[in-house]
């Protein structure tokens, strides 16, 4: 899920609009324009356990809810009475009411921040739009402050686009430039397809002779996922348009 491309309404619905209709926020399911909200809702319930559950347990660096908070919100959503929940958790009912108050206060803070942000950046210069880091990225700092214009200029400088597949002329030295180069190399890897190391190498070898370095950086920066035993690689689907 790429939060940069989804509105608050999209997140609450569990689906978003496309040029031809609608698409699920969590998988590749699509629906035509004439489809009903009920059809989409049924898909979310049957395939994903409901949109609310997906939002509560979303694996994203932006989901800051602790497991305890996730459990509490799940309980609140069920309509359980404060006293009954307090009895189950063996705490005072006042503790449950205080937790609800805390959630409401955080929601107010988030609402004010969102309104302020949208007011400030209502008409951003398209050339200053920053790219969205991969959902799995962990080393988030100013290296990721990359505009679309920076990408276009850097890729023209470092790649030979006259060949198929593309060829990287040389490996950059600066970390920010490496990230930009990786944003293009990763598009050579199929999305959501389990691949062995030799299979990953077969995609990277034509791009650059030191494919081992490329592979390592793709993993380090979150463009590729690698299993714990190192035998399987996967390019996650973050809904970014290549």
CB contact at 8 A, 93 and 81: no
Q: Which of 141, 177, 133 has the alpha carbon at shortest distance from 158?
A: 177
Q: Which CATH architecture has domain 142-234?
A: Orthogonal Bundle (1.10)
- Residue 134: Cβ within 10 Å count: 23
The C-alpha atoms of residue 218 and residue 185 are separated, in whole angstroms, by 9
- Residue 55: Cβ within 10 Å count: 19
How open is the CA angle 131-133-134, to the nearest 5 degrees? 135
- Residue 98: Cβ within 10 Å count: 12
Q: Which of 210, 126, 143 has the alpha carbon at shortest distance from 183?
A: 143
Residue with tokens 């921040």: 113
What pLDDT sits at residue 136? 65
In the chain, where does DSSP find H-type helix? 8-13, 37-48, 51-56, 67-77, 82-89, 93-120, 148-158, 175-185, 197-204, 211-220
Helix axes 175-185, 211-220, angle to 10 degrees: 100
Structure tokens at 172: 């950059």
Q: Which of 29, 8, 6 has the alpha carbon at shortest distance from 16?
A: 6
Q: Do domains 64-123 and 142-234 have the same CATH topology?
A: yes
Q: pLDDT tens for residues 141-196?
A: 777 778 878 888 899 999 998 878 899 999 999 988 998 999 899 999 998 899 99
- Map out the domains of the chain as residue ranges: 1-61, 64-123, 142-234
What pLDDT sits at residue 241? 40
What pLDDT sits at residue 107? 94
Average pLDDT over residues 51-70: 90
pTM of the model as a whole: 0.55
Average pLDDT over residues 192-215: 95
Pick the CATH number of 64-123 from 3.40.50, 1.10.3090, 1.10.10, 3.30.420: 1.10.10
């Amino acid at each position: 899920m790429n939060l940069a491309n989804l509105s608050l309404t999209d997140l609450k619905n569990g689906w978003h609009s496309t040029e031809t209709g609608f698409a699920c926020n969590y998988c590749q399911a699509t629906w035509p324009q004439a489809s009903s909200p009920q059809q989409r809702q049924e898909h979310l319930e049957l395939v994903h356990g409901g949109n609310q559950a997906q939002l509560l347990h979303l694996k994203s660096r932006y989901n800051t809810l602790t497991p305890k908070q996730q459990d509490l919100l799940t309980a609140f959503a069920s309509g359980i009475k404060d006293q009954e929940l307090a009895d189950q958790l063996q705490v005072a009912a006042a503790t449950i009411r205080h937790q609800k108050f805390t959630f409401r206060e955080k929601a107010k803070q988030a609402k004010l921040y969102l309104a302020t942000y949208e007011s400030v950046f209502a008409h951003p210069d398209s050339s200053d739009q920053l790219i969205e880091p991969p959902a799995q990225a962990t080393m988030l700092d100013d290296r990721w402050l990359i505009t679309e214009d920076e990408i276009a200029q850097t890729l023209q400088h470092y790649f030979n686009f006259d060949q198929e597949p593309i060829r990287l002329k040389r490996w950059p030295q600066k970390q920010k430039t490496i990230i930009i180069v990786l944003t293009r190399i990763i598009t050579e890897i199929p999305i959501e397809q389990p691949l062995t190391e030799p299979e990953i190498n077969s995609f990277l070898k034509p791009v650059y002779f030191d494919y081992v370095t490329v592979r390592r950086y793709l993993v380090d920066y979150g463009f590729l996922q690698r299993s714990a035993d190192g035998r399987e690689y996967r390019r996650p689907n973050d809904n970014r348009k290549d």
